[in-house]
Amino acid sequence: MKASVIVFPGSNCDRDIQVALRHSMGEEPQMVWHGDAEVPRSDLIVLPGGFSYGDYLRSGAIAANSPIMRDVVAKAGQGVPVLGICNGFQVLIESGLLPGALLRNAGMHFLCRDVGLRVENTGTVFTGHYEKGQIVTIPIAHHDGNYFADDATLERLEGEGRVAFRYCDSEGAAGEDANPNGSLNNIAGILNDGGSVLGMMPHPERLADPFLGGTDGKPMFDGLVEALS
C-alpha cells in the first residue's frame, strides 16, 4: 500500500500519523508538502490534525485552498480513499468533500481528553476491522469540533449510514452527557456518499500503540492496509 500524508504549515500531528501508518504498513508513508501541485501515486491520502495556517480566517479554510488540495479533491473524485483527522476533517469540509460545518465547541473551550466512540458503520475501508456497535476509546484535541448541518443533510447522513462514529458513554449510549463538544446527533465522524472519504475529530493515531496507553485506534490502520494492499 502506498500512503501519502499531506503536510501543512502548522500541522502538528503529521508525524504521529506517519508513525501509526509505518507500524501498520511496514514502510514509510510519503510526506507531501502543501505547496506541491500533485500527490504521488497513492492508495490512501491522509490530512492530519494540527492548526494548518495557524487556524487563521477559519479552521481549515486556508489549507483547503492550498495548491495540493486541488489534486486531493481530484483524486478523491476518482475514488482514492481520503482520511481527514481533526484539522483534516475541517479541511475536508472546507474543500467541499464532506457536508456540514465544524463550529466552536459548545463550551467555548479547547478540549483534550479521551472520549468514548460507538462504531456506526463497518462497511468501509476505514472501519472494516471494527465491529458495528463496538465502543472504543480515542482522544480528542480540538476547539472547533462541534459538528453542525441542516436538517436535510443530517437526515441524509443518518439515512444513508454515513455517520461512521458517534460520541457515547461506556455503555454505548449517545446522550448529552457523552457529547464533549455539542455536535448534532453526537456525530464524531462522517463519510462521503461513496464511503471513500472519512472525516473524524478524534485522533486514532494517538491510541495506536501500547506505549501510548491503548490500541483502539490501531484497527483503523491495520484495516486500511489489508483493504488497500
Q: Which residues are catalytic?
A: 86, 203, 205
Residue given cell 479521551 in the structure block: 114
Tracing cell 483493504 back to the chain, one arrives at 227
Beta bridge partners of 117: 136, 167
Query: Half-sphere exposure (CA, 13 Å, Cβ side) for 112?
Result: 5
d(C-alpha 113, C-alpha 45), whole Å: 26
> 166 phi and psi, to 5 degrees?
-135, 135
* Residue 166: half-sphere exposure toward Cβ, Cα within 13 Å: 25
The DSSP symbol for 104 reads: P
